A and B are shown apart, each in its own frame.
Chain A
């Protein structure tokens, strides 16, 4: 099978202050076969070019949202992007088939630790439950929703030596998705991709 074309849509309104997302984004920026779009840089005034964005979607096979989790959702420009770009008749509805069969994936960072995102943790819900609006968005657009790739407690990732392995894993994930070496079937069964990369990525790396 030919390579998958990956579109990384990146949103972080304070890029210069970001530690984790900036480090992770670096892995996607210069990878062959990956188009990296910094939405806040492309649309500093939120004037999203709908036509251009729809063309981009059509030209890629996998759409990846990379962002910090803000109020259990995306930063606002990414919501604006969804509101405008995922138009009726383009992305959904009886005649909206532009995204049929593509893959969709969230790569997110959270403030809370992993154990917070449990029934008894202070976030009360698992991260997958909190991301269901995005999952359903992908589903309504007839895309395949892949489990998210999450960096928990991003603010402590550096001192706990978790950032480098996570960024490294992001690179491996992107390459595997691009080269069609991620076991999609098996991936669909896990809750998050982090922690499962070794078993999901086929072939030597």
Chain B
């Protein structure tokens, strides 16, 4: 049971540090790193064993790539090919060469310089993807470009591992350090056979994933044992990683491929939710070990050199990324996200460093130094993301991820937001012959809607100049259908104040948002889920055996009562928000609803069942 103690230490550090870091706006990655620094160099609770744990935790990266693959349909990957090869390939090649040149300029031999360049050209897939996901930036152009580069780097690790030994001074064979992939079964086979086997394994993953895994998962799923499905999902990832190791390929690449193959299967979401917690924990563990592995003695021994190198490397990477970003037409906040986000070295750097050491490319001292540079640059990355989020993105707000479209027509209606809510409104309006101008800031969505044939414009609807260009000045009607609560209120407020003649219909998230929007000046406010929930409730009553028309009447009574309550509680809410008085009144209305809905009410000619009641027997006048 000796694993209990380290498990306790690592989990305690994570549980304490991560929520605090998150609350402080630092993100979970920095939280894990700080936790690692505290239990490692600062308190000295964990020491050398964290290196072993790190190798184990690197498996989290493999799982992450599997999950990334699950999200990526092959068609999407094919669409990314230009970015993958062009942007990613150029980033790796240019960065490696420039850093190598820098090393040589500093008087380091060309072999070590080139190895260093190659190692440092990689960025941290773990930190960047985790952070992008956490901040919801994966779908932005900046996020997608970052992902292309990271994916390309992960693929590039394979030839790097093949090339690094060629840089060795003498053909010394190091000992296998356990996670390098150079000692494969294929060693000693002729080159063409190696290539053949590698192609064969990849083909097996793709074909097997397509034709074997689905029936296998169907069989496993039919056992209805959740943990067995989880076990099967884990087994799949581990088996592929193992197979890839055997033939000397990157396990991350293999699981990524498997993920892509399974991305169109019906088990995609199940697999995702099964693997996700393991990935999260392992990655967290990995980050903790990075933090714990920082060698403070070396750091404080040569602070100038180490910090100088770290900043130098990050600056070079940043500049290259910035130039590439411009070449690939990133703009505004996305441009900065891309250039700042990928400026660090990555976890594969540790792997390659260990490999370079054992294959006698690099002596121990520079390897330890570089290892610290990699760790420090990773440690600084969350700070760069925070810089982007708090300083750069707000300034770029509005310009968003691309320039707003030039609006070449105006209509009598302006619709802000063309998500699930705005789409229906737009369709009902346009099919009835009304002209609308639609604004949205999700470029994917706009492309899709445009394909369907509706004219939509890219742009941030909260920007006054854009609203003006959309013709809000002449519009009779403004529909606020954004999916962001704050911005929704903000845009309603702006339109109501500047264009008092324009009628405003606004989408609300909940009851309190209704009041906010009414106070902001919306003429009509519609709760986005109210009618659909009510309808589901009605269907539930019917499913339970209630006569459909009776259920409809119940739903009508509910709606009527709810609107009455909504109006009645506004005064209390306006006065002091959701305070005691408001809550008391809410409870009163809830009780009233119970009375309205109750079965007894029906027997006393009360609200819901009122009507169609036969006159009582014995009234001579009837």
Chain A interface (Cβ within 8 Å of chain B)? 45, 47, 50, 83-84, 87-88, 92-94
- A92, B556: Cβ atoms closer than 8 Å: no
Whether the pair A93, B610 counts as a contact (CB closer than 8 A) is no
Taking a contact as CB atoms under 8 Å apart, the answer to whether B560 and A47 are in contact is yes
- Whether the Cβ atoms of A94 and B611 lie closer than 8 Å is no
B621 and A87 contact, CB distance less than 8 A: no
Verify A93–B619 contact, CB threshold 8 A. Answer: yes
Given contacts A47-B556, A47-B560, A84 and B611 within 8 Å (CB-CB): yes
Cβ–Cβ contact B622 & A93, under 8 A: yes
Q: Using Cβ atoms and an 8 Å threshold, which residues of chain A touch B556?
A: 45, 47
Q: Is B613 touching A88 in the complex (CB atoms < 8 A)?
A: yes
16 example contacts (A-B, Cβ-Cβ < 8 A) are as follows A47-B556, A47-B560, A50-B611, A83-B611, A84-B610, A84-B612, A87-B610, A87-B613, A88-B614, A88-B615, A88-B616, A88-B619, A92-B615, A93-B619, A93-B622, A94-B621
Q: How far is the CA of A88 from the CA of B620 in the complex (A)?
A: 13
For A93, list chain B residues within 8 Å (CB). Answer: 615, 619, 621-622
Which 9 pairs, one residue from A and one from B, show the smallest C-beta to C-beta distance? A84-B611, A88-B615, A93-B619, A47-B556, A94-B619, A93-B615, A94-B621, A93-B622, A83-B612
Q: Residues of B contacting A47 with CB < 8 Å?
A: 556, 560
Bound form: Cα–Cα A93–B605 in Å: 15
Q: Which A residues are in CB contact (< 8 Å) with B612? A: 83-84
Given the complex of chains A and B, what is the CA–CA distance between A92 and B621 in angstroms? 8
Query: Contact mask B584-622 → A, CB, 8 Å, 1/0?
Result: 000000000000000000000000001111111001111
A94 to B621, CA, bound (A): 6
- Looking at the assembled complex, report how far the CB atom of A192 sits from the nearest CB atom of chain B, in whole angstroms: 30
Q: Which residues of B sit under 8 angstroms from A83, Cβ to Cβ?
A: 611-612
B508 to A: closest C-beta gap in Å: 20
In whole Å, how far is A40's beta carbon from the nearest beta carbon of chain B? Answer: 17
Q: How far is the CA of A94 from the CA of B613 in the complex (A)?
A: 16
Contact present for A92 and B622 (CB under 8 Å): yes
Most chain A beta carbons < 10 A, residue from B556, B611, B616, B620: B611
Q: Which residues in A have their C-beta under 8 angstroms from that of B610?
A: 50, 84, 87
Contacts of B613 in A (CB 8 A): 87-88
Q: What's the nearest-Cβ distance from chain B to residue A89, in Å? A: 8
- Chain B positions within 8 Å of A50 at CB level: 610-611
Question: Closest Cβ of chain A: how far from B566's Cβ, in Å?
Answer: 16
Residues of B within 8 A of A88 (CB): 613-616, 619, 622
CB contacts (< 8 Å) of A94 on chain B: these are: 619-621
Shortest CB–CB separation between residue B551 and chain A, in angstroms?
14
Which of A45, A50, A94 has the most CB atoms of chain B within a 10 A radius of its CB?
Answer: A94
Give Cα distance in the complex from A47 to B557, angstroms: 9
Q: How far is the CB of A194 from chain B (nearest CB, A)?
A: 33
Q: How far is the CA of A160 from the CA of B289 in the complex (A)?
A: 95
Docked Cα-Cα span, A88 to B622, in Å, equals: 9
Contacts of B611 in A (CB 8 A): 50, 83-84, 87
CB of B530 to closest CB in A, whole Å: 14
B622 cross-chain contacts in A, Cβ below 8 A: 88, 92-93
Give A128 to B87 CA distance when docked, in angstroms: 86
Chain A contacts for B616, CB-based, 8 A: 88
Complex formed: what's the CA distance from A93 to B617 in Å?
11
Question: In the assembled complex, which residues on chain A have CB atoms less than 8 Å from the CB atom of B619?
Answer: 88, 93-94
CA distance A47 to B613 in the complex (A): 16
Q: Find the B residue at minimum CB distance from A88.
A: B615
Q: Shortest CB–CB separation between residue B521 and chain A, in angstroms?
A: 26
- Closest A residue by C-beta to B613: A88
Given A83-B611, A92-B622; 15 other pairs, CB 8 A cutoff: A45-B556, A47-B556, A47-B560, A50-B610, A83-B612, A84-B611, A87-B610, A87-B611, A87-B613, A88-B614, A88-B616, A88-B622, A92-B621, A94-B619, A94-B621
Query: CA A45 – CA B557 in complex, angstroms?
Result: 13
Name the B residues within 8 Å of A87 (CB-CB). 610-611, 613
| Cα distance A45–B555 in the bound complex, in angstroms | 12
A45: B residues at CB distance < 8 A: 556
Interface string of B498-534 (1 = CB under 8 A from A): 0000000000000000000000000000000000000
Instruction: Convert B239-258 into 0s and 1s, putting 1 for each residue whose CB lies closer than 8 angstroms to a CB of A.
Output: 00000000000000000000
Roughly how many angstroms separate A86 CA and B216 CA in the complex, as a whole number? 67
Residues of A within 8 A of B560 (CB): 47
Cα–Cα, bound, A196→B178 (Å): 109
Among B556, B610, B614, B619, find the residue whose CB has the most chain A CB atoms closer than 10 A. Answer: B619
Within 8 A of A (CB), among B71-118: none
B582 to chain A, nearest CB (A): 27
A93 vs B619: C-alpha distance in the bound complex, in angstroms? Answer: 7
Name the residue of chain B whose CB is nearest to the CB of A85. B611
Q: How many Å lie between the Cα of A37 and that of B620 in the bound state?
A: 34
Which B residues are CB-close (under 8 A) to A84? 610-612
Least CB distance from B618 to A in Å reads 9
A90: shortest Cβ distance to chain B, in Å? 11
Q: For the complex, give the distance between the alpha carbons of A10 and B176 in Å.
A: 91
Alpha-carbon distance between A84 and B619 when the two chains are bound, in angstroms:
19
CA gap between A83 and B560 in the complex, in Å: 20
B522 → A minimal CB distance (Å): 21
B614 partner residues in chain A, CB cutoff 8 A: 88
